[in-house]
Structure 1
Amino acid sequence: MFLILLLLINPTIKKTTLVNTKPTLAVLVDNSKSVTFFKEVKNVKEILNTIAKNKELNSKFTIETFSFGENIQVLDSLSFDNNNTNIYEAIASINELNKGKNAPILIISDGNQTIGNDYEYVNSKQQIYPVVIGDTTKYKDLKIKQLNVNKYSYIKNKFPVEVILNYEGEETVKSKFSIFSGKKTVFSKNLTFSKLENSKTITANLTSNKEGVNYYTASIRKIEGEKNTRNNTKSFSIEVINEQTKVLILSSILHPDLGTFKKAIESNKQRSVEVQLAHKFNGQINDYQLVILFQPNYQFRVVLDRIIERKSNFLLVSGANTDWNFINKKQLGFSKKAINQTENYGATYNESFLTFFQKNIGFNEFSPLKDKFGDITFTKDHQDLLLQNINGVQTQQPLLSVLEQNNQKTAVLFGEGIWKWRSSSFLNSNSFQDFDQFIGNLVQYLASKKKRNRLEINAESLYPANANIHISAFYVDKNYNFDDRASLEITITNKATKEVTKLPFSLINKSFQASIENLPSGDYSYKVAVVGQKISKYGQFKVTDYEIEEQFTHANSDKLQKLAQKAGGKLFYKNKTNTLFKELMDNKAYFTTQKSITKEQNLIDWKWILFFVIGLFTAEWFIRKYYGKI
């Protein structure tokens, strides 16, 4: 009973212990391909091995080792196969990890960064000690630093290509810049570089003559004594679209919305707009890819009959002057029981709209549109991009809807006053671009004669060597609702070797994603198929031999030196690691801290007491049983 009572009381005592905390030394190792390119793999491993075996250093510091390329991770093994280097991210991550600690950073790198913010300006509270690897000798070098080009162009149009060329060297040199389409030279220019005039920006206006994906190669001719020529060439591609769109706007009244539609549509130079009054129009609607009917009434009867007969695509915009009795009789797939009273309808963006991609440009904040009051009914399948909002009350009535049946596309905007939207969009973003893009997306969808596909693929036409190739797919069922039950797979074929790679897609959010790694340079074709369905899509892409990690001729010791000075550290070269270790050992700013920790500790070990109590109870039971007391 005494022992049980002792267990219940469980007396404790306070015990104070001293804990020694060593400073942390974070070692960051460049794991990108540039280390292999500079033939520094052996040196990097020797430096790491020296750090691991240095007893004095390990005695003073808690050493944490990380590798970095595109991302930073705890060092497990070094492969030197990362396609990009992000020094800024590595330093920032370690600063966050060791916040509040005394933890200097030792970074082993050539200092050449390919992605991320400029690491020279990173705010580091820890001192940084760079160890430079790679060739620090500066050679003469010409390179294509940057190439800018739009992804799309229209047939027979000129498209600009902007190229920034850099020269490193002391002498004055001459070279020739050229752009090739296959083996044909489409642009060339002779150039002179010097120590002072070491950068040039070239703009070439090329003509898009061939529809589809066109591949080009930009190249600067090698100069005498140039060591690295991998950065003299860069490939790019452009997709040429054969699309010339003429839009007719027919109206029964004069209204500021007419000018708004015209300006927004013609912001794309490949589109032209004619505005005419309905009762004066006697032309052919076949001359136009899209007709916009603005507040139609009986004056539109001839044009509307032609549209119905020819199944032409059109956009109908209603308002206070719209004759809904006339429209309802035409059986266009929608109707409205309107009364002679108007209502202001705000817009609410519909997140589940799938017909075409349209981001929310702030529709909820735009001024309401005016239309006759009444219920809207659809007799055809439709998708609502915008829903009506009346005085802050959300409804399920549509404000902007699209319909598609028998290869005819229709859109209906239930309200006038869209000119206010363009003005509001400009006030929000200081640009008309978002609003014009919204109207452009709607016009592009309606003007296209292509039937909507249930399977859509999003892929680039050109990828750099050894890049992770990401391809996404979007698949809908027969009702054009996203189908997350489907299984998709991609088959990739190398056109030269005929080697075939087959991979499944993964479902991520509301799209299917596939990631392909380590494809060698070359031309590829692919097929995306829906398993169990006779639905597939074909395409092609090219993997260039351009590797960004091989574009540098020397280690960037100047930038690493600035980083070290800004962070209060020192720069060292790979053959001076002993001096670095001595610097770290002699630096009195890195010291072991001692901290007292007070803990409450049980006076007795309850497990043994409990075991002893159970043993006594057991012995008592046997003794009582033996003497017949139980």
Structure 2
Amino acid sequence: MNSSSFFFVIIALVLALCIAYFQYFYKSKDRRPLIFALFGLRSASIFLILLLFFNPTIKKTELQTNKPVLAVLVDNSQSSEYFNEQQEISRLVGKFKSDQLLNDKFTLSFFSFGNSFQTLDSLTFLEPQTNINQAIESVNTVYKEAISPIVLITDGNQTLGNDYEYSSTSKQIYPLIIGDTVKHKDLRVSQLNVNKYSYLGNSFPVEALLYYEGNQSISSEFVIHKNGKRVFSKKISFSNDKRSITVETSLPSSQKGKNYYTASIKPISDEKNIANNTKNFSVEVIDEQTKIGIITSVLHPDIGAIKKSIETNKQRKVAIKVINNDIFKTTDYQLVIMYQPNSLFNKLIAEIKKEKSNYLIITGSKTDWSFVNSLQLGISKNAISKDENYLANFNQNFLTFGQSDIGFEQFSPLQDKFGEITVSKPFEPILYQNINGISLNVPLLAMLEENNQKSAFLLGEGIWKWRATSYLNSNSFTDFDSFVSNVVQYLASTKARKRLDVTMDPIFPSNATIDITAFYVDSNYKFDDRATITMELSSTENTIKRELPFSVIGNAYQLNIEDLPAGDYTYKVSVKDQNISSNGTFRVTTFNVEEQFTSTNTEKLNRLADRTGGESFYKTKFQDLKKSLLENTDYFTTQKTITKDKNIIDWYWVLLIALFLLTVEWFIRKYYGKI
């Protein structure tokens, strides 16, 4: 008790005695034992009531005993059922719960894991995937400061998450191994590496990692099918020294939309598990060829060089037309390049302004600058009839898109009419003009953007020489063509930012949870968490139709779908009360990721135990595991003294005693006629 609390106790005692004295002895000569008893009862009851009123604190010392925690992690995934180990696992859990010696030494905590980690309630063996690392890391977090060895009841086959063998846990782990420990001959498609997208008419690469488990030399065949039709096959051979093979190929993108493929390796004789011989994948083929029109008033080598550079990307097509008085449909092209414009371009410019088409103007010795100046495009030149040569200096601070210096200062000068340049709109220069070695703060190539319309000006002809010089410098056109490609890609891009963006994989195994993320922004393109977003889901056979709501989690909308049968599905994600939606398709395959293993991963579990200072045991060695845990002197009970400040008002019995004393006093006074 501190000094202030002691002071209040003294005050309470004095006040209690004074009040009782005033009632029983003040101006009274009665000194019978009864009066002294009543005086004592009244003093005590008032003293206790005053203590509650002043509420002093008293330091209380407690001795706390902490037993070490034994965390028992139980594999609740479908692989346990696949190995037919449900009853054995339940029996092992029951042994831990009922063993008195273990419960005397440890505080036992039981957890289940699979696709998720949770406190053990009941075992269903329905978890679609196994994340052993998450379970280990979670226990390490929960019992970070405690002595807490881990018993891991599992087959050691993980299908989700980081490699558990290299978990950063500080706890000793004791794997209790279940499943089939016999090694069977097995072939499997271990991994497929495929791009998600490909352009129509192109080819896309496929890389397959094939694995063999066995000691004998065998032969098989790797095959890829599309809609039941074989599109690729290759004979392969494995041996004890050659257990893995990587197969690479390219497949044509001949059909627009999502294309589904099946990659498989033919099973060998006596192969126990053939479910892991097959993997499905998909590629979305996009038909988005960029069409670019070059309109020219003169014939010039620049036009051919520009066309070749642009068309190195097969998804771009260039059309060349000589200007005339006909109306040119700019809507047919994502980008219009006007080469050395003059008055014949008047109708074309009017169409570009009307449709807000993106354009690139290249000027030169044949350009009518009086006409260009009259268009008020944001750039003008007070030109004279004399031509001038302009070298290029690269702008190191250019940020509109990624572009490196490909040696512009070494390129031949471009030719244009001499005159002062004026730019009346915001612009971003890629190249500055250089005349006779003097660098000018005047653009040679500049980008402009206004009201979602992009434009650019290249103030000089002779760019074909740049392409030739680039080839001489690097023995390749790649650098120059990439430069032109970057400019064209920026100018030809007309995509507006979508307010609703839906992200999901195109293909899922039948036992997986389907995770869908939607990102929705308001008209100012800021995340909007007030919307109601739903998904209309249906199978292609119309046997399944659902409407599912999204939930806001962080800065996105999330939806999880479970237990969808194998098949093809279409979906439409919509924002309520908004004319905004996103459509798509996906496929659920019959592949069960938990059935891809033929045996227990004993080696990995043994390495995990060795690395963490634990020991691994087979499921039949429960008594050996128990003995190891009980005899390990690192797992000991700790005691510590805890001093707490206890308020008198928290002691309800003080009030009860005070009421009891007042009641006794009242009955005595009543009995002897003092009331």
TM-score after normalising by structure 1 = 0.72
Q: Is the 8 A contact 1:457 1:471 kept in 2?
A: yes
- Give the deviation of 1:544 after TM superposition: 0.7
Structure 1, residues 308-346: CA drift from partner, whole Å, max 9, x if none?
288373156999xx99997896588xx79999xxxx998
Residues 504 and 220 of structure 1, relative CA distance in 2, 3 Å threshold: same
- In structure 2, the partner of 1:124 is 169
- Give the deviation of 1:43 after TM superposition: 1.1
Residues 103 and 482 of structure 1, relative CA distance in 2, 3 Å threshold: closer
- Give the deviation of 1:184 after TM superposition: 1.1
Alignment partner for residue 615 of structure 2, among 564, 570, 589?
Answer: 570
Q: Find out whether 1:206 has 2:251 as its counterpart.
A: yes
- Give the deviation of 1:505 after TM superposition: 3.1
Q: How many residues align?
A: 548
Q: Is the 8 A contact 1:336 1:374 kept in 2?
A: yes
CA–CA distance in 2 between the matches of 1:142 and 1:552? 10
Map 1:116-265 onto structure 2 (within 5 A): 116-247=161-292
- In structure 2, the partner of 1:48 is 93
| Letter of the 1:173 counterpart | I
- Give the deviation of 1:214 after TM superposition: 1.1
| Letter of the 1:563 counterpart | L
Residues 294 and 194 of structure 1, relative CA distance in 2, 3 Å threshold: same
| Letter of the 1:543 counterpart | V
Structure 1, residues 279-322: CA drift from partner, whole Å, max 9, x if none?
99x99887983336699987895585264288373156999xx9
CA–CA distance in 2 between the matches of 1:24 and 1:414? 73
Residues 140 and 206 of structure 1, relative CA distance in 2, 3 Å threshold: same
- In structure 1, the partner of 2:493 is 445
Residues 504 and 290 of structure 1, relative CA distance in 2, 3 Å threshold: same
Q: Is the 8 A contact 1:264 1:439 kept in 2?
A: no
Structure 1, residues 516-564: CA drift from partner, whole Å, max 9, x if none?
2210111122233444566655432211111211111101001100111
- In structure 2, the partner of 1:98 is 143
Aligned with 1:186: secondary structure? strand
Structure 1, residues 244-264: CA drift from partner, whole Å, max 9, x if none?
325468999xxxxx9xx9999
Aligned with 1:239: secondary structure? strand
Aligned with 1:238: secondary structure? strand
Q: Is the 8 A contact 2:358 2:492 kept in 1?
A: no
Map 1:393-472 onto structure 2 (within 5 A): 401=449, 403=451, 410-411=453-454, 442=490, 445-446=493-494, 457-472=502-517
Q: Is the 8 A contact 2:265 2:278 kept in 1?
A: yes
Map 1:529-568 onto structure 2 (within 5 A): 529-532=574-577, 537-568=582-613
Map 1:458-497 onto structure 2 (within 5 A): 458-473=503-518, 486-496=531-541
- Give the deviation of 1:480 after TM superposition: 8.2
Q: Is the 8 A contact 1:336 1:376 kept in 2?
A: no
CA–CA distance in 2 between the matches of 1:538 and 1:559? 43
Alignment partner for residue 545 of structure 2, among 486, 491, 500?
Answer: 500
Q: Find out whether 1:314 has 2:358 as its counterpart.
A: yes
Q: Report sequence identity in percent.
A: 44
CA–CA distance in 2 between the matches of 1:465 and 1:437? 42
CA–CA distance in 2 between the matches of 1:107 and 1:135? 16
Q: Is the 8 A contact 2:181 2:602 kept in 1?
A: yes
- Give the deviation of 1:18 after TM superposition: 2.3
Q: Is the 8 A contact 1:476 1:483 kept in 2?
A: yes
| Letter of the 1:291 counterpart | L
Name stretches of at least 5 consecutive residues in structure 1 with no aligned partner: 253-257, 350-359, 363-370, 378-398, 405-409, 417-430, 622-630
| Letter of the 2:225 counterpart | F
Aligned with 1:57: secondary structure? helix
CA–CA distance in 1 between the matches of 2:368 and 2:564? 61
Q: Find out whether 1:59 has 2:104 as its counterpart.
A: yes
- Give the deviation of 1:273 after TM superposition: 7.6
- Give the deviation of 1:85 after TM superposition: 1.8
- In structure 1, the partner of 2:563 is 518
CA–CA distance in 1 between the matches of 2:380 and 2:665? 95
CA–CA distance in 1 between the matches of 2:542 and 2:593? 25
Q: Is the 8 A contact 2:227 2:260 kept in 1?
A: yes
CA–CA distance in 1 between the matches of 2:57 and 2:530? 61
Aligned with 1:91: secondary structure? helix
| Letter of the 2:357 counterpart | N
Residues 438 and 570 of structure 1, relative CA distance in 2, 3 Å threshold: farther
Residues 201 and 440 of structure 1, relative CA distance in 2, 3 Å threshold: farther
Q: Is the 8 A contact 1:25 1:105 kept in 2?
A: yes
| Letter of the 2:567 counterpart | G
- In structure 2, the partner of 1:424 is none
| Letter of the 1:103 counterpart | S
Q: Is the 8 A contact 2:352 2:358 kept in 1?
A: no
Name stretches of at least 5 consecutive residues in structure 2 with no aligned partner: 1-14, 17-46, 298-302, 383-394, 404-420, 428-446, 460-478, 667-675
CA–CA distance in 2 between the matches of 1:510 and 1:19? 44
Residues 487 and 567 of structure 1, relative CA distance in 2, 3 Å threshold: closer
Tell which deviates more after alignment, 451-460 or 491-500.
451-460
CA–CA distance in 1 between the matches of 2:53 and 2:553? 55
